[in-house]
Structure 1
Amino acid sequence: MSREDAAARAAPRPAKVSVLMPTYRQAHFLPRAVGSLLDQTFQDWELIVVDDGSPDDTADVVAQWDDPRIKYHRLDRNEGLGFALGFALRAAVGAYVAYLPSDDHYDPHHLANAVAMLDGEPDCYACYGGLRWWTTNASKPFRVRVTSASLRGDDVVGAEEQALLDLTEPLLSDDVRNGNVFALVQVVHRRDHEAAVTWPTRSEIVSDGLERDYWREFARRGARFRYTGEVSCEWGDHPDQRHKIIGGRGAVHPTDPTGRGFGLARYRQFYGIESGLALNWRAGFWGLPHDQRKRYGPLHATGSRRPAVAADEPLRILVVGELGFNPERILALVEAGHSVRGSWITRTQAWQTVGPLPFPGVEDIPFDGDWTRRVREYAPHFIYALLNWQALSTIGRVLDEVPDIPMVFHFKEGPHLVAEMGLWPVMVKVLRHSAGVVFINQECREFFERSTKGCVDADRVLILDGDLPKANWMTDDWSPKLSALDGEPHTVCVGRIRVEGRNFLEPMPVLEKAGVHVHVYGETYQKWSRDWIETGRGSRFLHLHPNVEPVDWVRELSKYDAAWPHVHESSNEGDLRRAHWDDLNLPARLGTYAVAGLPWIVRNNSGHRVAVQSLAERHGLGVVFDDIDDLAERLWDTTGMDGLTERARAARPQFSFDDQLPVLINFCRRVVEMGPR
């Protein structure tokens, strides 16, 4: 044997299969996952572990395996699944690529089955083993383990490319809500399309459909997928799975009714997204799309709509809870010269916003073992606690932890859910011990006055909506009214049409008969209200539009004559103890309509107490109607509508957080100076 031949034989040969393992905060799962790889009957593999900036002991756990096939790479900070997979793929040397997320695991023959198929069938680009996984749907109150060829069941076998290219819309009740067909752990594939098909990074998109879209790109290029014929892996199941953090679940375990929360806020918290970094959010079929770059970019570019006003005595304010639909309003505090820190709830829902915030100016004090010391060190003048029932437990704990720091409690919704969720004792405690309480309307104030005893002190109460938009969006970029062009009334709805079986708009066929156009914004809201939408499908009076960002609210929405809040018939007969939440609520969309200078369409509930109607009548901007004929007559009255529009535009400062901020700050100063209750 020549010296050259001996050197070549002694040189390490590249592994046949590169197994990619992205991992983040899952050191506790690593022994199961890596152990399942070590137990494979096929041993010609390498494992590329990409630690995506984990704050746990992932490095120490991986170091326990003294195996040269295991290659560990640590990223300085969390970069996201797409970046981690791309990094691992660039480091891989194998002819085939497999995936082993650290919370999944293989059966012993998984790689052997895949390699045999890829070696034996040159026209097969990707193969997949069947999987065991846990699921729930509306008919099964507990999670059950199932086995199937794919996340869509067994029907995809033999029709894989069609299943990938012709995405079936998942049901709202489905456990996998992104339409994915194959979990990462199932698939082993060749590398021919690697240059053309790449994993998108977080700077491009955040989606729970990364895998779905990656496989689809293979299929678009003619790649053939084949089933190995055997269930050979398990897709892990726990609340911190990435697809659940992003898209939630259709049905959850009764012992975990919120699924630990999900959505954009939960994602930012879990992955430690830095404050000020805006994301392009796309959460499955049923999630609310939200490109933070478009929404908050104008704030970065232009700053405040008006010069910052120096506070007489700048305050240190600790915001506790969550910020709802219009989180950027909190910047008005910073622009006014105050210091703001945030401590946020962790079990968020998709529409809620918490830190790390996508815009700069608010530093977080997270709830950890050092929270109390850091709060004491910050020494806030007061705690501004808000906003909805989901934050109440956290607010109550803060009140117990630092009772000497004055708290101003700003509560929006909803009183009945507080009781339903077993939080009424916490609500009573917070009302009784807060230095000041801000209710969103007089009706809510009276509701709590009648429902509690000694908790609502008239000298320590302010009335102010809790989710007002920022003044930046209140431009003068008015558009001509569509009704001036075609002579027919045009109305608009931004938000949900249907909730829990209740429609917030009149039936579309009735509106069509009355000659009233309806423009509905937001693809996801349209999906949620499909039954209502279908009643008007094909009508020239129903118009469906994509979501509109705040920077375009005036230009896009001011061309309509009036807007739909939550239209309902009250039955409280003036007794607020009998009030339903629809009677007490001020929907967040009212702020959007106020920005665009739009009158509100309000059913006449005279003889009852309804907050939206009271507010609309106070500002003279309500299209208050008795029945559909009355509504049509009012909308067709161009002179009357011109007057309502004029008053709606004049009232805009009443619905701007910036303009109302001096009222809020003066109230907070006053109740803090009053001392403890």
Structure 2
Amino acid sequence: MSSSPLVSVLMPTFRQATFLPRALESLLAQSWEDWELIVVDDGSPDDTAAAVRPYLADPRIHYHQLDRNVGLGAALNHATALAGGQYLAYLPSDDLYYPDHLERLVGALEVDPGAELAYGGVRWAYQHAGPTLRGPGAVGREAASLGLPPEHQAQPTSGNLLALVQVMHRRTARLPRWTERTERVSDTLEADFWRELLDGGARFAYAGAVTCEWMSHPDQRHRIIAGVPGGLSRYRAHYGIGQGEYLNFQPSRGMRVNEAERYGRFAGRDLSPRPGGLKILLVGSLGFNPERLLALEERGHRLYGLWSPDPETWDATGPFPYGHIGTLPLDGDWADRVRALQPDLIYALLNWQALPLIGRVLDARLGIPLVFHFKEGPFICHEQGLWPTLVRVLKESDGQIFISPENREWFRLALGGGLDEARTFILDGDLPKLDWFTEDWSPKHSRADGQIHTVCAGRPLGLEPLSELARQGIHVHFYGTHFQEWFPNWTRQGLESGLLHLHPTVEPQDWVRELSRYDAAWVQQFSSDNGGDLRRAHWDDLNLPARLGTYAAAGLPWIMRDNRTSLVAMQTLAQQHDFGIFYRDFADLGAQLRDRSRLEDLTAHARAARRLFAFDTHADGLLNFFSRILASAVPAASRLGQP
């Protein structure tokens, strides 16, 4: 065996100590023995070092521990720099090789000097196997296959062609660098690397047999980024990314955000605690527009977070790149940490997914007043078996915040009158921060072409049939790449009509400039049948979608079905401020949108009321409510140890 091995196997690993022995044993069982293993421990907080230690007796195995997690791309670049082999192979610590894997891939490269990369077939999710993640049809057509959408639900949404574990390639001067977290976070990391190789003229070769296994489990990187559940909050929490570190988060599917562009404006603000400021522990998650809570820090209050462990793709939990919200680990000692922190108040929020954690906090009997802010949704709590928890939290919390008077009344009826209205407050849970309410107005499209231009910046619920809208000459501008992916059939049919126009997601800093050019905005479209009786209400009647704040910032009238014989929270708001367009059918809507004088009045009313839809406008009222709850709460000493 040569002093410099032919094959360097790269093993980036993070929080996978329990998987490691299986992967390492599979390498030791290889029929090809001329290899070295470069293990790069990417700042793992678990027992990774202990799991690797017994294997270091083999001089071919080298262990390198990074001080902190830097991400898969950087870990791969680090391992590549340490490798000495002519060929590079990959063994992620949750995958494994079959005994002939290295021998077959070396053979494929040796027999075909023109091939730059060889791959073995892969087994995945225990029940699928093939030459590639895209099936046998991709063999010899790798470049074309990478440009096609994925065809099988077991595959990553990125449309990847090859899992890392399958691959061995030559170490050449034109070898690309792996994209690092400081540049972009995406589940397309591998696919982008293969594509760059192919674009550079590389040719791939299949080794002719299934030689390895790609493990499927919830903590796979691509699932953390673009899976369900997955998304930005889960990624930040899983990899321990703290304050001050901005990510350019670009999943293949789901909500995308460049945090530096969106939140960089908040850096450098004076968020110092002030005398008399409260120490507030946030429990749960923040839904949309989490930066709104900077308004509390700007007023001199200190915030901490105990976050739900598995947030939805769209939901926001810390750590955040902006502000000073301190994150408390949700581990076996969390209750002791809260007691040591001694917050003045617990602010528990926001959606049904947070209820299990909020219930645990109540059960801990911490002796700290708790205010519960609930957005959605009571009906899902029925379905998920969380209704008893919701009722208990409502009854045991010191104060309750509801998103609308309709919601408060619905819960009063549901609880048999068991609400003290003096201990309640009305505040929508997803209001955006006032910073996004700029004066950057744009001229209306309709002034230039005389046609009707509407906007939908969210799910296009009820915007059908599109043929009827087209007959009325109503253009719909549909914003949000991820929404367009979620509704492919509707989007395709709309494009065929010629009056649907697709736009990328509009960032908060561009809401006013981009969206103010339209005549009116679509909220969820539905026909209510509660007839004024909230006992008959469903969630559409009670809901205040997050897009309302976006539309308010841009000063847009709301388009909605005429439900004025029912109690509907969105409709109540639109009627209060006279910026609603209520229609019976699309012909009626077309007639109203062509009434330019009335439309200008509605737009003026929407602009006049828009600051009421910013969180900052209500921050002082919320803090006054907290103070009232604190003033009337049972002293902590008498609350400790309550049954």
Match of 1:228 in 2: 207
Aligned to 2:474: 516
Map 1:630-669 → 2, pairs under 5 A = 630-669=588-627
- The residue correspondences of 1:76-91 to structure 2 (distance < 5 A) are 76-91=67-82
Aligned partner of 2:540 among 582, 586, 598: 582
CA distance in 2, matches of 1:625, 1:222: 58
Query: 1 CA distance for matches of 2:492 and 2:148?
Result: 21
Does 2:191 align with 1:212? yes
Residue of structure 1 in register with 2:93 after alignment: 102
Specify the SS of the correspondent of 1:634. helix
Corresponding residue number in structure 2 for 1:263:
231
Q: TM-score, normalising length from structure 2?
A: 0.96
| Structure-2 residue corresponding to 1:168 | 149
1:27 is paired with a residue of what secondary structure? coil
Distance in structure 2 (CA, Å) of the matches to 1:310 and 1:654: 26
Residue range with higher mean Cα deviation, 223-232 or 388-397: 223-232
CA distance in 2: counterparts of 1:240 and 1:527, whole angstroms:
24
The answer to whether the 8 Å contact 1:130/1:233 transfers is: yes
In the alignment, residue 295 of structure 1 is paired with which amino acid? R
Aligned partner (choices 406, 414, 420) of residue 383 of structure 2: 420
- CA 1:242–1:610 in 2, change beyond 3 Å: closer, same or farther? same
Query: Is the partner of 2:305 in helix, strand or coil?
Result: strand
What does 1:530-541 align with in structure 2 at a 5 Å threshold? 530-541=488-499
Distance 1:529 1:241 in 2: 26
Match of 2:571 among 584, 604, 613: 613
**CA shift in 2, pair 1:449/1:170, >3 Å:** farther
Q: 1:310 to 1:91 in 2, by over 3 A?
A: closer
Q: Establish whether residue 92 from structure 1 lines up as the match of residue 74 from structure 2.
A: no
1:562-602, Cα deviation, whole Å (9 max, x unpaired): 11111111122222222121111000000100111111111
In structure 1, the residue matched to 2:182 is 203
1:356 matched to 2:337: no
Give matches, 1:153-192, under 5 Å. Answer: 153-164=135-146, 166-170=147-151, 173-192=153-172
| Distance (whole Å) between structure 1 residues aligned to residue 274 and residue 548 of structure 2 | 29
1:419-474 per-residue CA deviation (whole Å, 9 max, x = no partner) reads 11000010011000111111101111111111113532111111110010000111
Task: State whether residues 335 and 366 of structure 2, in contact with CA within 8 Å, keep that contact through their aligned partners in structure 1.
Answer: no
Aligned equivalents of 2:128, 2:477: Cα separation in 1: 43
Q: Please name the residue that 2:328 is paired with.
A: 365
Match of 2:261 in 1: 294
CA–CA distance in 1 between the matches of 2:206 and 2:569?
A: 59
- Quote how far apart the aligned CAs of 1:193 are: 5.2
Q: Distance in 1 between matches of 2:274 and 2:605?
A: 31
SS in 2 for 1:410: strand
Map of 1:51-450 to 2, 5 A cutoff?
A: 51-65=41-55, 66-134=57-125, 145-164=127-146, 166-170=147-151, 173-192=153-172, 194-195=174-175, 197-248=176-227, 261-284=229-252, 286-300=253-267, 303=269, 313-450=276-413
1:403: Cα distance to partner? 4.4
Deviation at 1:651, TM superposition (A): 0.8
Distance in 2, matches of 1:309 and 1:519, equals 42
Is the contact made by 2:372 and 2:394 (CA closer than 8 Å) also made in structure 1? Answer: yes
- CA apart distance, 1:369: 2.5
Task: Determine the structure 2 residue equivalent to 1:465.
Answer: 428
CA distance in 2, matches of 1:310, 1:524: 38
**Matched residue type, 2:279:** R
Do the aligned residues in 2 keep the contact of 1:507 with 1:532 (CA within 8 Å)? no
Which amino acid in the other structure matches residue 166 of structure 2?
A: Q
Once residues 387 and 279 of structure 1 are traced to their aligned partners in structure 2, the CA distance between those partners, rounded to angstroms, is 24
Using the TM superposition, give the Cα deviation of residue 515 of structure 1 relative to its aligned residue in structure 2, in angstroms: 1.5
Q: Given residue 214 of structure 1, which amino acid in structure 2 is its aligned partner? A: F
Partners of 1:13 and 1:325 in 2: how far apart? 56
CA offset digits 1:307-333 (Å, max 9, x no partner) = x89978311100111111100001111
> Are positions 1:566 and 2:524 aligned together?
yes
Asked whether the 8 Å contact 1:161–1:224 carries over to 2, the reply is no
2: CA distance, partners of 1:613 / 1:174: 42
User: Is residue 414–residue 581 contact of structure 1 (8 Å, CA) maintained in 2?
Assistant: yes
Number of aligned residue pairs: 634
Q: Which letter does structure 2 place at the counterpart of 1:177?
A: T
Q: Is the 8 A contact 1:170 1:177 kept in 2?
A: no
Identity among equivalent positions (%) equals: 53
Query: Counterpart amino acid of 2:624?
Result: N
State the AA in 1 paired with 2:192.
D
Q: Give, in whole Å, the separation in 2 of the partners of 1:405 and 1:504.
A: 44
Per-residue deviation, 1:174 = 4.8
Q: In structure 1, what is the equivalent of residue 13 of structure 2?
A: 23
- 1:544 alignment partner, SS class: strand
Q: State how far apart, in whole Å, the 2-side matches of 1:175 and 1:319 are.
A: 37
Partner amino acid, structure 1, of 2:84: V
> Counterparts of 2:517 and 2:86 in 1: how far apart (Å)?
58
Structure 2 match to 1:254: none
Pairing of 1:544-555 with structure 2 (within 5 A)? 544-555=502-513
SS in 2 for 1:64: helix
SS at match of 2:494: coil
Secondary structure of the 1:608 match is coil
How far, CA to CA, are the matches of 1:451 and 1:364 in structure 2? 35
* 1:236-255, Cα deviation, whole Å (9 max, x unpaired): 12211111111115xxxxxx
Classify the secondary structure of the residue corresponding to 2:401: strand
Take 1:439 and 1:74, find their aligned partners in 2: how far apart are those partners? 48
Q: Which amino acid aligns with 1:263?
A: G
Structure-2 change in CA distance of 1:462 and 1:565 (3 Å): same
Q: Is the 8 A contact 1:127 1:228 kept in 2?
A: yes
Amino acid at match of 1:221: G
Partner of 1:3: none
The 8 Å contact of residues 315 and 339 in structure 1, kept in 2 or not, is answered as yes
User: Once structures 1 and 2 are overlaid, which stretch shifts more, 70-79 or 59-68?
Assistant: 59-68
SS of the residue 1:640 aligns to:
helix
Amino acid at match of 2:53: A
Following superposition, the deviation at residue 194 of structure 1 comes to 4.3
Structure 1 residue 504: Cα displacement: 3.0
Unpaired runs of at least 5, structure 1: 1-8, 135-143, 250-260, 498-502
Give the SS at the match of 2:329. Answer: coil
Q: Which string of whole-angstrom CA distances, capped at 9 and with x for unpartnered residues, describes residues 366-418 of structure 1? A: 21122222211221111111100000111111111134211111100111001
Q: For the Cα contact (< 8 Å) 1:26–1:102, is it kept in 2? A: yes
Q: Is the 8 A contact 2:272 2:297 kept in 1?
A: no
Q: Does the residue aligned with 1:479 lie in a helix, a strand or coil?
A: coil
* Residue 264 to residue 508, structure 1, CA distance change in 2 (3 Å): same
The verdict on how the C-alpha distance between 1:504 and 1:169 changes in structure 2, with shifts beyond 3 A counting, is farther
Q: Which moved more, 1:367-376 or 1:659-668?
A: 367-376
- 1:265-292 superposed Cα distances (whole Å, 9 cap, x missing partner): 11111100012322111112x3222211
- Whether the 8 Å contact between 1:125 and 1:224 is mirrored in structure 2 is yes
- Output the amino acid matched with 1:269: A
- In the alignment, residue 104 of structure 1 is paired with which amino acid? D
- Residue 76 of structure 1: SS of its match in structure 2? coil
Whole-Å separation in 1 of the counterparts to 2:115 and 2:366? 66
Q: CA RMSD, aligned part only?
A: 1.8
- Give me the whole-angstrom Cα distance separating, in 2, the residues matched to 1:674 and 1:602: 41
Partner Cα distance (2:131, 2:431) in 1:
49
Q: Does 1:493 align with 2:456?
A: yes
CA distance in 1, matches of 2:604, 2:564: 25
Distance 1:276 1:430 in 2: 34
Separation in 2, partners of 1:455, 1:466: 22
* TM-score normalised to structure 1 length: 0.91
Conserved in 2, the CA contact under 8 Å of 1:294 and 1:549?
no
Contact 2:134 2:150 in 1 (8 A): no
The alpha-carbon distance between structure 1 residues 118 and 466, as it changes in their structure 2 partners (threshold 3 A), is same
